[in-house]
């Protein structure tokens, strides 16, 4: 996520209202609570409420019948306890009641709000809800089984927004814009093409990466008015978003439907990753963090003002003990309660390395197949030194955490809007493309003086996410159109296919944005975070219209899955088996995957890419070769056999041979 200018509250306004105590509260060392029982612990006999609010002089609990409106059914004072905590136990059965806390800090009663650890909330996340979590489990949840994953390198990622998938009138999906939309099988467009879940299964990706689906603030859940947002404005981190549920008022429904979605995806062979946005909150003043410990959870500039490395008005302080604890416990909660298979960290470069490693170690103890990756960059200056943060240049210090490769992305499509990349005939990105093809690991044939990153940043290839576009910026097709105004549609289609054929054959982990497989367009809108469905929706009629593009993507994913040479698990193996060839032309990149790389049944695989808009001749290495893929098709049985000598390459095309 970037370029997201929410600015719900300027730091200036905040400083006026909180200046009386802000100085003291965030600078002072606060006591650290190490217990695992923060939040609401429900049982039929007694329910325990515990919050961390070290500078409060009083904390009140109120219980309500509903998530909004009405007078409290009961009010209780919390008792000060160890290490900055406050707690109270209620002995009646309070199941399905809603609650708020209210703290008194520096003689000011803060607003009523749920705690950051809330597991369930009412409409718009204003009140927490006391839920017996076992009652939210879909049938047979205990037997939910994750699809098998042997190596991270076997992953193929599909980035999806819940609403985009189903909201189009031609989706054939009943639960439009809802979690349940992703559980419907047998859905078809009016052209008769499978849509939704069937479509994703047919495409062959392994993991669905959901854009923020925790409770965010920008869509009013009381109005089913089609208001759209990506959701990078976190409200309640441990709760699913209400506008994606069939009933946003009853806090149990969104939980049950989210779990139902995960279970259905698992049983259909797909793993599920959640985009998590701990780097900032939607505003400061009303954030739960602020109500309990003003200033503590955020970073500050030297003058006391809130720093803003996220470009969203604030940045959280992962290095503070209670923020680190919260982030770790939050992802563990999602992994355990919702059976999630991975996390994508928004602006991971804002978080400190130690926190990311603690999260990785903790999650991998729970399940070694959980996949963690993020944007290893920031969107502004941070007071936490760059050397301590999970930035791309520090990736070698991160354990089992991957990062998006803007290197391969920009080499493929161009570094800026209206700038050409390799697939549009640009020849100055070749070394950066080679950097990306090797999965950003050390390789003796990459000239790091000429590549965009001046040193390999991945220790192992799974640490690299290869992609050509994501939700940020223009869709791939739109971006290619902007960079190539002179190109006709046929040429743009060849560029698009070549772009993702490179992604699917490179050694990192391939990632596509949903709908790219049928030339998704957002009508040139580059930052669609709050644009209507007409811009963001997947237009299912395009699947029939661009069926050849769709088949090409599908066949390349299958080729990758059938051939382990394209997904070598270690840097050492890549160094040994991946050899670049001298293509004798700056618009060509060619390499071999030699000697049954990663036990591939093909002895030698030759990949040749022509980024130029003209046909080119290429001299094949010694011997007879079988052509299995070109710019138009994939045929693993062989398009042409017994090829040798010089081969003419069509413009804007990839060729794959083997022997």
Q: Which residues bind Ca ion (CB under 5 A)?
A: 215, 242
CB-based contacts of 66, cutoff 8 Å, min separation 6? 98, 122, 249
- Comparing CB distances to Ca ion, the nearer of 122 and 631 is 122
Q: Is the dihedral of CA 587, 592, 597, 601 positive or negative?
A: positive
Helix/strand/coil percentages in the chain, nearest 5: 30, 20, 50
DSSP H helical ranges for 189-250: 196-203
The CA-atom distances, in angstroms, between 490 and each of 328, 494, 516, 613, 655 are 48, 6, 16, 12, 18
> Position of tokens 């990506």?
230
DSSP 3-state of 491: helix
Minimum distance from CB of 122 to Ca ion (Å)? 11
- Comparing CB distances to Ca ion, the nearer of 242 and 631 is 242
Chain residue at closest Cβ approach to Ca ion: 215
Instruction: Judge whether 375 counts as a catalytic residue.
Output: yes
Q: DSSP secondary structure string, 322-388?
A: HHHHHHHHHHHHHHHHS---EEEETTGGGSBHHHHHHHHHHHHHH-TT-EEEE----SS--SS-GGG
Minimum distance from CB of 110 to Ca ion (Å)? 21
On whether the CB atoms of residues 564 and 598 are closer than 8 A, the answer is yes
Annotated catalytic residue, options 275, 346, 352, 460: 346
On whether the CB atoms of residues 199 and 193 are closer than 8 A, the answer is yes
- Comparing CB distances to Ca ion, the nearer of 242 and 251 is 242
Q: What are phi and psi of 610, to 5 degrees?
A: -105, 105
Annotated catalytic residue, options 375, 431, 494, 600: 375
The pair of three-digit structure tokens given for residue 176, joined into one six-digit string: 């439009």
- Comparing CB distances to Ca ion, the nearer of 38 and 121 is 121
- Comparing CB distances to Ca ion, the nearer of 217 and 440 is 217
DSSP 3-state of 611: coil
On whether the CB atoms of residues 265 and 202 are closer than 8 A, the answer is no
- Comparing CB distances to Ca ion, the nearer of 258 and 477 is 258
User: What b/e readout covers 532-550, taking b as 16+ CB neighbours within 10 angstroms?
Assistant: ebeebbbbbebbeebeebb
Minimum distance from CB of 67 to Ca ion (Å)? 12
- Comparing CB distances to Ca ion, the nearer of 157 and 277 is 277
Query: What are residue 121's DSSP bridge partners?
Result: 128
Residue 441 backbone zone (phi > 0: left; psi -120 to 50: alpha; other: beta): beta
Minimum distance from CB of 565 to Ca ion (Å)? 45
The pair of three-digit structure tokens given for residue 96, joined into one six-digit string: 């399905």
Minimum distance from CB of 251 to Ca ion (Å)? 12
- Comparing CB distances to Ca ion, the nearer of 242 and 569 is 242
Torsion of CA 157, 161, 162, 164, to 10 degrees: -120
Closest by CA to 337, choosing from 179, 135, 35, 183, is 135
Instruction: Judge whether 346 counts as a catalytic residue.
Output: yes
CB-based contacts of 256, cutoff 8 Å, min separation 6? 136, 137, 138
User: To which H or E segment does residue 158 belong?
Assistant: strand 157-160
- Comparing CB distances to Ca ion, the nearer of 177 and 242 is 242
User: To which H or E segment does residue 12 belong?
Assistant: helix 11-27
Minimum distance from CB of 649 to Ca ion (Å)? 51
On whether the CB atoms of residues 118 and 128 are closer than 8 A, the answer is yes
- Comparing CB distances to Ca ion, the nearer of 236 and 463 is 236
The residues carrying an active-site annotation are 346, 375
């Amino acid at each position: 996520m970037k370029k997201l200018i929410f600015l719900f509250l300027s730091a200036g306004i905040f400083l006026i209202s909180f200046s009386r105590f802000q100085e003291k509260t965030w600078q002072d060392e606060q006591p650290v609570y190490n217990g695992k029982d923060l939040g609401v612990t429900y049982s039929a006999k007694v329910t325990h409420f515990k919050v961390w609010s070290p500078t409060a002089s009083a904390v009140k609990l109120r219980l309500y019948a509903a998530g909004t409106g009405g007078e409290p059914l009961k009010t209780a004072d919390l008792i000060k306890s160890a290490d900055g905590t406050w707690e109270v136990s209620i002995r009646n059965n309070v199941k399905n009641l809603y609650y708020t806390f209210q703290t008194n800090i520096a003689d000011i009663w803060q607003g009523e709000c749920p705690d950051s650890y809330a597991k369930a909330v009412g409409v718009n996340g204003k009140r927490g809800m006391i839920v017996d979590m076992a009652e939210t489990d879909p049938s047979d949840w205990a037997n939910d089984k994750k699809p098998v994953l042997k190596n991270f390198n076997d992953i193929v990622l599909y980035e999806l927004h819940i609403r985009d998938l189903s909201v189009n009138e031609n989706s054939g999906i009943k639960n439009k814009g809802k979690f349940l939309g992703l559980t419907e099988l047998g859905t078809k467009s009016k052209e008769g093409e499978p849509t939704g879940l069937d479509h994703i299964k047919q495409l062959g990706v392994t993991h669905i990466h959901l854009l923020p689906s925790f409770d965010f603030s920008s869509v009013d859940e009381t109005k089913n008015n089609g208001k759209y947002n990506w959701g990078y404005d976190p409200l309640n981190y441990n709760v699913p978003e209400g506008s994606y549920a069939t009933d946003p008022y009853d806090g149990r429904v969104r939980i049950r439907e989210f779990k139902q979605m995960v279970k259905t995806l698992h049983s259909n062979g797909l793993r599920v990753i959640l985009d998590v946005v701990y780097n900032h909150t939607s505003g400061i003043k009303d954030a739960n963090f602020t109500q309990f410990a003003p200033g503590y959870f955020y970073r500050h500039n030297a003058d006391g003002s809130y720093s803003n490395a996220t470009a969203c008005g604030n940045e959280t302080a992962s290095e503070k003990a209670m923020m680190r604890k919260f982030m770790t416990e939050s992802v563990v909660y999602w992994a355990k309660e919702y059976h999630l298979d991975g996390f994508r960290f928004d602006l991971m470069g804002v978080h400190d390395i130690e926190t990311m490693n603690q999260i990785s170690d903790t999650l991998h103890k729970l399940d070694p197949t959980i996949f963690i990756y993020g944007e290893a960059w920031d969107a502004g200056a941070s007071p936490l030194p760059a050397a301590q943060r999970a930035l791309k240049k520090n990736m070698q210090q991160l354990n089992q955490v991957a990062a998006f490769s803007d290197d391969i992305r920009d080499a493929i499509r161009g570094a800026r809007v209206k700038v050409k990349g390799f697939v549009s005939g640009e020849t100055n990105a070749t070394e950066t493309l080679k950097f990306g093809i090797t999965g950003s690991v050390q390789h003796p044939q990459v000239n790091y003086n000429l590549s965009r990153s001046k040193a390999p940043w991945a220790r192992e290839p799974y640490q690299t996410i290869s992609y050509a576009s994501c939700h940020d910026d223009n869709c791939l097709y739109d971006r290619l159109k902007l960079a190539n105004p002179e190109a006709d549609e046929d040429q743009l289609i060849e560029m698009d296919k070549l772009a993702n054929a490179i992604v699917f054959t490179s050694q990192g982990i391939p990632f596509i944005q949903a709908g790219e497989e049928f030339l998704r367009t957002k009508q040139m809108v580059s930052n669609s975070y709050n644009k209507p469905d007409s811009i963001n929706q997947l237009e299912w009629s395009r699947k029939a219209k661009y069926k050849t593009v769709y088949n090409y993507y599908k066949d390349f994913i299958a080729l990758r899955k059938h051939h382990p040479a394209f997904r070598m698990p270690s840097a050492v193996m890549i160094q040994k088996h991946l050899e670049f060839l001298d293509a004798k032309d700056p618009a060509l990149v060619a390499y071999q995957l030699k000697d049954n790389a990663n036990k591939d049944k093909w002895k030698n695989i030759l990949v040749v890419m022509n980024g130029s808009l003209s046909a080119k001749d290429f001299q094949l290495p010694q011997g007879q070769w079988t052509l299995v893929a070109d710019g138009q098709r994939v045929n693993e049985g062989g398009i042409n056999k017994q090829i040798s000598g010089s081969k003419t390459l069509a413009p804007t095309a990839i060729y794959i041979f083997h022997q």
